[in-house]
Structure 1
Amino acid sequence: MKQLTVTCDLEGDMGISNIPLEDIVYLEFSKVSTKDKVIAHTEESKFYMPGTLKYWTHVFNASGLRYRTVDRSFAINVDKVISIDNVFLTAYFEVKRCTMSRRMYEDLVSEFPHLTIGIESRRPV
C-alpha cells in the first residue's frame, strides 16, 4: 500500500502523518498567504501538503490512481465517486462531496460514461 506523508494542520504544528493514497477522495488547491498548499480530503478528515494541484494530480496519476481535475481548485479520485449530480455539478463520495465546473463535468462524463449510469437527469426537458 502506497503512503503519502502529509501534515494534519496547515502550519505543520501537529507534525507529519502517513496516509494511504487510496484513502484520498479528492484534492483541493488552497493558496494560503504566499504558499501553495493542497488539501487532501479523505472521508474522515483533511490533510495538507505543499505544492500545486496540477503537480499532485500528475503524481497520483503516475502512481496508478485515476484523478481528474474537475474545477480550477479540485481534482477527484474517479474510483471513489459514488454518484454525480448533473444539475448542481457535484461529485458525491461516501461522506463528502465536491463541486465541478460545467466544462470539466462534461469532460469527465465523456471519459467515464459509467459514472452517469443510474443517475437520472434533473434537467427540465
Structure 2
Amino acid sequence: MKLVVARDEDGKTGPVELEVTEILKFTTDKARIQIHTKNDVYYFPFDSLEKIQNILQALNLPFVRADRGNLINMDKVIEIDEKFAKVYFEGDKPGERGKDATVSRPTNYKRVLALFRERQGRTNR
C-alpha cells in the first residue's frame, strides 16, 4: 500500500508515493505531520496523529501510538531502551541503531514492550 506525501512541508515539490512498509514513524509538533523513513523525512496532509492512527488500524497495519508525538511502525523496531523508554529503528547497516522515538511510560510503554516481545518471538522461530 502506498501513501501520497510531500517532500517539503508546503507541498511545492509535488506529491510522492511512499510505500507504507518503508515508514518508521509519524511525528507531530502540532503544526505539521512528518513521516520518517530510514533516510528521509516527508510531510503528510492530515492534521493529527489520531486520524492517521485510525486509518492505519482500520487497514490492520502495525502502527501504534508511542506517545503524544509519535506513531510507530512496530515491524521496524529493532530495540527498546527500557531505562529511557525509547524505541530504536534499524540504521543503515543490519543491527545498527538508526532513528528513535520516545514512548510514554504511564500510558503506552507496557503495550509497546509487549508487542515488541511478541514480534521478536515470531522472528526468532
- Decide: shared fold, TM above 0.5: yes
Amino acid of the structure 2 residue aligned with 1:82: I
Question: For residue 121 of structure 1, what is the aligned residue in structure 2?
Answer: none
Letter of the structure 2 residue corresponding to residue 107 of structure 1: R
Q: Secondary structure at the match of 1:93?
A: strand
Aligned to 1:42: 37
1:105 to 103, 109, 112: 109
When the two chains are superposed, the root-mean-square deviation of aligned CA atoms in Å is 1.7
What do residues 33-74 of structure 1 show as CA deviations (whole Å, max 9, x unaligned)?
A: xxxx32111001011112210111121122231111011010
Pairwise mapping of residues 1-125 of structure 1 onto structure 2 (< 5 A)?
2-32=1-31, 37-51=32-46, 52-94=48-90, 95-103=98-106, 104-114=108-118
Letter in 2 for 1:114: E
Cα contact 2:77–2:116 (8 A) shared by 1:
no
Letter of the 1:71 partner, please give it.
Answer: D
Offset at 1:31?
Answer: 2.1
TM-score (norm 1): 0.81
Q: Structure 1: where are the runs of 5+ without partners?
A: 118-125
CA distance in 2, matches of 1:45, 1:23: 10
The 1:46–1:19 alpha-carbon spacing in structure 2 relative to 1, beyond 3 Å, is same
> In the aligned structure 2, how far is the partner of 1:116 from the partner of 1:87?
19
2:95 match:
none
What is the count of residue pairs matched by the alignment? 112
Secondary structure at 2:64 match in 1? strand
The letter for the 1-side match of 2:102 is T
- How far is 1:116 from its partner? 7.6
1:100 Cα shift?
Answer: 1.1
1:112 positional shift: 4.4
Identical pairs, percent: 30
SS of structure 2 residue aligned to 1:96: strand
